[in-house]
Amino acid sequence: MEYRLDKALEILERTPKILYAYLENLSDEWIFCNEGEETWSAFDVVGHLIHGEKTDWIKRLQIILSDSETKTFPTFDRFAQFEESKGKSLNQLLDEFSIARKQNLDYLKSCNISEDQFNLKATHPQLGEVSLKNLLACWVTHDLGHIAQIARVMAKQYKSEVGPWTAYISILNK
């Protein structure tokens, strides 16, 4: 599918609702489980999504759309959520994510990005040159990837309980 802002918004606007429906008021056994050492729980993923809302998508969009001669993204701290989420409940994180996402999407819509602007570029510190279209498409796939990650982590909590059906449940074998 070719990137279109209206199609991207269909996903980006739904992500907070999906996470609320999926995670709100679940027991700790579901929200803090992970897949083992150095893996993330649903709680960690929501914290990561919040950090992205604060420091990644719109900040990088602004760099690309700026008149600056040097358009280089700062490095994104993929693990900042571990400190930033301390002392918060998952429901607080869900609220924080929902508010931040709405503000960011309101801003994105207010930019009235033209077709030509989708091809504007900046430099990513690890990936090199990227376009605004690349960034915005990544935002959508990033959401979908983390929603799938949460489902996988949670499903694996019953891996040993489903017995022989494990062979048929593909999410348990990834």
Q: State the CATH number of the domain containing residue 154.
A: 1.20.120.450
Residue 77: pLDDT band by 50, 70, 90 thresholds?
confident
What are the DSSP E strand ranges found in the chain? 121-124, 128-131
Indicate if the pLDDT at residue 32 is higher than 90: yes
Q: Which residues contact 139 (CB under 8 A, 6 or more apart)?
A: 8, 12, 57
Query: Exposed, middle or buried, 173 (CB in 10 Å: 0-12/13-18/19+)?
Result: exposed
Which pLDDT score, from 0 to 100, does residue 50 have? 97
Quick one: pLDDT at residue 78? 86
pLDDT at 82: 78
3-state class of 124 per DSSP? Answer: strand
The tally of domains found in the chain comes to 1
User: Domain containing 63: what range?
Assistant: 5-173
pLDDT 10s digits, 2-12? 999 999 999 99
Given this model, what pLDDT does residue 142 score? 97
| pLDDT tens for each residue of 132-161 | 999 999 999 999 999 999 999 999 999 999
Task: State how far the Cα of 103 lies from the Cα of 92, in Å rounded to an integer.
Answer: 17
